[in-house]
A and B are shown apart, each in its own frame.
Chain A
Amino acid sequence: DGGITQSPKYLFRKEGQNVTLSCEQNLNHDAMYWYRQDPGQGLRLIYYSQIVNDFQKGDIAEGYSVSREKKESFPLTVTSAQKNPTAFYLCASSGGGLAGAQETQYFGPGTRLLVL
């Protein structure tokens, strides 16, 4: 089955700790995205990557970092600089030559990050 997997489903972070959220896709998509979802706020874009070894900041990139070393993987690190990390994090991917606006984004099941 083709799709997007995110792990873990729940993640707990201690004060001052960096944590990494995993996102893997086997859809052979070029573009991948990370969104943060807070109640009543909709989805806000953290980072996106249109191709391997390239990524761009979204609207709320501060306190987060990403890498895109492989086409199928786009991990997100929540650093200690992110002072309010409690949220639901969604990874998405889209295929084709042009990312984003014209391509349908497919979403993973999400990771809920909680602060201890």
Chain B
Amino acid sequence: AQSVTQPDIHITVSEGASLELRCNYSYGATPYLFWYVQSPGQGLQLLLKYFSGDTLVQGIKGFEAEFKRSQSSFNLRKPSVHWSDAAEYFCAVGNQAGTALIFGKGTTLSVSS
């Protein structure tokens, strides 16, 4: 069955430091991949998505992600983290039937000063 794994439940990063959030997926064909961010008690906001083409994808708020087929990964990165980036981050993949998304369990990001 398809699945998405986010190995890190909680990460703490110093403000101004770089960030990488890991995401691994299981899917036979070319996946449709997404990263969403959720502030406490709020809905989800799309950061970026990958459908095809260039494997390095740029998103909003200075985030980027790289699709690596050989590693079945779609890791999210940001060169310099701001305190406002503290939130929960979800990786998702389109399901094989093309009807819905399958989400990982999320990574909570804390930013220390």
Contacts and interface: CB of A to CB of B under 8 A. Distances in A.
Interface of A: 4, 6, 33, 35, 40-45, 48, 50, 56, 58, 88, 90, 92, 98-102, 104-110, 112
A105 B101 contact: yes
B94 A102 contact: yes
12 contacts: A40-B105, A42-B90, A42-B103, A43-B101, A48-B99, A48-B100, A100-B100, A100-B101, A101-B101, A105-B46, A107-B45, A112-B41
Given A42-B104, A50-B99, A100-B101, A110 B94 contact: no
Nearest to A4: B43
Top 6 nearest A-B pairs (CB, nearest first) are: A101-B94, A107-B43, A42-B105, A100-B99, A101-B98, A43-B103
DSSP class of B's interface residues: helix, strand, loop or mixed?
loop
B84 interface: no
A104 B95 contact: no
B60 interface: no
Interface string B54-95: 000000000000000000000000000000000000101011
A109 B96 CA distance: 27
Contact of A45 (B44, B100, B104): B100
B43 A43 contact: no
Contacts of B32: 101-102
B52 to A, nearest CB: 10
A104 B49 contact: yes
Given A48-B100, A99-B98, 8 more contacts: A43-B44, A48-B99, A92-B44, A101-B96, A104-B34, A105-B101, A107-B36, A110-B42
